[in-house]
């Protein structure tokens, strides 16, 4: 499964318009000149000029990469040069000024022989500058990560390699990695990263869980999504935002798993997590669609206890449904509760 995903990543990354086949000799000459100019700036340690140099060559493209000459450097020296380059970009303003350099460095590093952990360090600096990497970085990063995981290394071991080059894993970098894996449907691997972050001295935050739980919900992997949410609340002390609750509830509704949806709502209530009107609404309407009228009645009672009242059509369907299955007493209690709230 993982090997298939790696091959898929590679095929997608390599599917690029063959611009070079139609480039003029002048364009190729410009590309060589750009690489030579960047090499001269690196040799002179004039790193802060590199973003302007890259931006000044309008015909520059990703292949060949203007940082390709770095492959001629010994690995330790290459890492040292890139680290110095990243440090030199920090004082530049606006902070997005070195974006083009970050993109080229990421593209070069992720397609090199040993992309990690250096690519993670570049990614971290990119994100901290407020820049968003070009889209193909997600595919390249996912491919590089999956290849390393195939070597039976733990998530924590790979992430902690960043310390060997003077960097430390953080949530922003890990969350980007998690979202990249989710983007290619590698949800199991994304969940592994999420669970391994703490061992790498990087505690996952609410955004980490939002990414994975959201992807699981979209894929209707409801068992995994609910368990992940419980883990987030019980082990991490994090409370899901309304959007996350609604998304999981909607997935459970789509799967017609309303018992599980009601159990999730009750669990969150017990833990003091506020359930908004929409969260209750999705569950109640799902119960009505599945003709689970007693569940619908229980849910609307919890809903009214928090000051929410369903829309009139929903109220009518709940009461009529309860009466239709012989639950006259519960129907009466629900109707009375609605009347009290309306008054």
Q: Which residues contact 157 (CB under 8 A, 6 or more apart)?
A: none
- Domain-by-domain residue ranges, the chain? 26-162, 220-274, 276-343
- State both tokens at 5: 């995903």
User: How many residues are listed for the chain in this entry?
Assistant: 343
pLDDT at 152: 86
- State both tokens at 269: 């209530």
**Quick one: DSSP state of residue 162?**
G
pLDDT at 3: 55
C-alpha 242/C-alpha 237 separation (Å) is 16
Residue in the structure block whose two tokens are 């569950």: 283
Counting as low any pLDDT under 70, the low residues of the chain are 1-32, 58-63, 343
pLDDT at 318: 97
Q: Which residues contact 213 (CB under 8 A, 6 or more apart)?
A: 225, 228, 229, 232, 240, 244, 247, 248
Does residue 96 have a cis bond before it (omega within 30 degrees)? no
Q: Among residues 63, 65, 57, which one has the least CA distance to residue 15?
A: 63
- Record the pTM: 0.88
């Amino acid at each position: 499964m993982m090997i298939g995903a790696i091959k898929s990543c590679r095929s997608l990354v390599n599917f690029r318009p063959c611009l070079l086949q139609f480039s003029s000799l002048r364009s190729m000459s410009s590309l060589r000149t750009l690489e030579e100019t960047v090499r001269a700036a690196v040799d002179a340690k004039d790193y802060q000029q590199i973003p302007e140099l890259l931006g000044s060559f309008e015909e520059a493209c990703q292949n060949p990469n203007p940082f390709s000459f770095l492959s001629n450097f010994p690995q330790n020296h290459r890492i040292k040069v890139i680290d110095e380059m990243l440090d030199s970009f920090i004082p530049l303003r606006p902070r997005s000024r070195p974006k083009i350099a970050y993109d080229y460095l990421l593209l070069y590093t992720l397609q090199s022989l040993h992309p990690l952990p250096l690519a993670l360090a570049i990614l971290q600096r990119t994100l901290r500058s407020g820049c968003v990497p070009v889209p193909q970085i997600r595919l390249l990063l996912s491919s590089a990560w999956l290849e390393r995981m195939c070597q039976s290394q733990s998530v924590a071991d790979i992430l902690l390699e960043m310390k060997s080059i003077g960097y430390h894993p953080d949530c922003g970098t890990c969350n980007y990695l998690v979202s990249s894996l989710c983007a290619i449907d590698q949800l199991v691997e994304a969940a592994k990263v999420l669970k391994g972050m703490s061992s790498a001295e990087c505690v996952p935050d609410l955004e980490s869980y939002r990414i994975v739980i959201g992807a699981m919900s979209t894929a209707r992997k409801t068992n995994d999504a609910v368990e992940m949410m419980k883990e987030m609340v019980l082990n991490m002390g994090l409370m899901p935002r309304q959007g996350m609750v609604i998304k999981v509830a909607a997935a459970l509704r789509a799967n017609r798993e309303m018992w599980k949806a009601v159990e999730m709502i009750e669990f969150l209530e017990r833990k003091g997590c506020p359930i908004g009107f929409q969260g209750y609404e999705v569950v109640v309407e799902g119960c009505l669609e599945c003709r689970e009228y007693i569940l619908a009645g229980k849910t609307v009672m919890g809903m009214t206890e928090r000051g929410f009242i369903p829309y009139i059509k929903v109220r009518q369907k709940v009461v009529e449904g309860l009466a239709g299955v012989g639950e006259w007493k519960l129907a009466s209690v629900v109707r009375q509760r609605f009347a009290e709230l309306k008054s």
